[in-house]
Amino acid sequence: MYLYIKTLGLLAHSLHDSNLSSYKKLYSSICHKMSSLYLNMATNANMNGIGLSIAAVFTVYLVSRLLYRWRNPKCNGVLPPGSMGLPFIGETLQLIMPSASLDLPPFIKHRVKRYGSVFRTNVAGRPVIVTADREFNYYILKQDGKLVDTWSLDTFAEVFDQASQSSRKYTRNLTLNHFGVEALKEKLIPRMEDMVSKTLADWSSRDSVEVKSASITMSIDFAARQLFSGDLENAPLKLSDMFNDLVEGLMSFPLNIPGTAHHKCLKIHKEVRKTMGDVLRKRQMSSDKTPRDDLLDHLIQDMNKEAFLNEDFIVQLMFGLLFVTSDSISTTMALAFKLLAEHPSVLEELKSEHEAILKNREHLESPLTWEEYKAMTFTRQVINEVLRLGNIAPGLFRRALKDIPVNGYTIPAGWVIMIATSALHLNNDEFNNALEFNPGRWKDIQASVVAKSFMPFGVGMKQCAGAEYSRVLLATFLHVLVTKYNWAMVKGGKIVRAPIIRFPEGFHFKISEKTK
């Protein structure tokens, strides 16, 4: 602007001697207008600067208030100590940070040491109270439907559709009918033994087997036969393959954009549900009405009796049952392979128990019975010890229905409560040398310790309806394995918690049939 005015001045000066007064007037007019414009711009710039300063101060104030509110949520009392982490993501990244050990996840271990057995945190933007307090945990689990209700992490909620759980009583009774003690006694144990025998025979024909993924295939295929008679011959993808991929996304950050584990998890869930829906519609349209005595037949018969039994409910229920009968069982099996191979004295005692069962039979080739299962005292101790060390799930989740007092603090209504079962299972005060694999410890453990400090399947009426089914399947597998086969690790063996236990390199074993 200065150069522009100066140029006009030089031009007017050169024309001055020509007595061109009109140009002088023009120059004076332009200079006046340009000066006024410059002053206006300067004034506006000052005003804009003041406005920007005010906006900046207001923004800083607003952000400070939001940070304060984030770090100090409202509470009708005193919140348990802890940290809410970063806005929107909380301490999610610290929670899912992997650790290469069976020990308590560092996220919980460090905070219990710093804050005590009850502390607050935030996971994916949701306020959470984590409790490792034995007495409070037991109390809370007895208050289902009164002080608390069942809750799931956001990814689990989307995948397992909590909104459709209005008929939990029906679902529990149905599950017990097809997978409970009476079903195990009457029909499931011989089927399990036959399935395990065929599976291990197949595994022994291979150079090596990655037992985690192979166990998922086995447990999914068996459960599918009980649910819908394994009616999937035309399915485009194997159910077991889809479930293998699904599990990896369940503890991911709930960010549903392409490329994320959460997005992949939801996509697989959609594919599995479509497969389940195809199975249901095929059964409904089939001209063959011969009863199959499976869970799907039971559901279809009840559709005219229960209003909530629509296609979506049935598909979601079958999906959920397949999941709970696969991942926890397969993980426990894989860990049992590793721990038994590393502890030969435990393996020898286990073999002795099962060889004694065979010797006591009138006919050696008779199928396994419920009475024989109940005689597997040491086997059940081994299973308990693997479950205790494995801590397959990160914890049990509840949502506070009202303000709950605990140890002088208050848990606000609406907050999530994570019962850190791993902190109970790995507590040296209850389990001496808690990280040691020692099934013999269960011979002397008091019932009160089991009731309050060992809950791999939950507690009371909310205990998993498939708990006994899982134990019997694991015991049956071990029975066939230790009486007929030997095994040795070929590669892998690394364990990672993030916070769900995973085996990133797999557990690859060579399975060999014993020489007779």
Residues annotated within a binding site for heme: 464
Q: What is the dihedral of CA 75, 80, 82, 87, to 10 degrees?
A: -20
Sequence ranges of the binding site: 464
Q: Using alpha carbons only, what angle is made at residue 490 by residues 487 and 494, rounded to the nearest 5 degrees?
A: 105
| DSSP-assigned beta bridge partners for residue 513 | 485
Q: Which of 306, 304, 316 is nearest to 169 (CA)?
A: 306
DSSP annotation string for 212-225: HHHHHHHHHHHHHH
Q: Which of 89, 223, 254 is nearest to 157 (CA)?
A: 254
Residue 182 near residue 318, CB atoms below 8 Å: no
Sign of CA dihedral 18, 20, 24, 30: negative
Q: Which of 123, 183, 185 is nearest to 152 (CA)?
A: 123
Cα–Cα distance list, 41 to 47, 49, 52, 375 (Å): 10, 12, 16, 94
Q: In what order do the strands lie in the sheet with 507-513?
A: 209-210, 507-513, 485-492
Q: Which contacts qualify for 244-252: CB closer than 8 Å, 24 or more apart?
A: 244/213, 244/216, 246/159, 246/272, 246/323, 247/327, 247/500, 248/502, 249/155, 250/153, 250/155, 250/156, 250/159, 250/500, 251/96, 251/153, 251/155, 251/394, 251/498, 251/499, 251/500, 252/96, 252/155
Q: Say how far apart CA 378 and CA 393 lie, in whole Å.
A: 24
Cα–Cα distance list, 243 to 94, 275, 346, 369 (Å): 26, 12, 32, 31
Cβ neighbours around 89 below 10 Å, total: 14
Structure token digits, residue 182 = 């009476």
Q: Which 8-state DSSP code applies to residue 441?
A: G
Cα–Cα distance list, 379 to 257, 272, 319, 337, 394 (Å): 45, 34, 30, 13, 25
Cα–Cα distance list, 480 to 225, 244, 377, 475 (Å): 20, 25, 16, 9
Cα–Cα distance list, 203 to 189, 298, 432, 508 (Å): 21, 34, 37, 11
Q: Which of 45, 42, 33 is nearest to 5 (CA)?
A: 33
Q: Say how far apart CA 249 and CA 431 lie, in whole Å.
A: 32
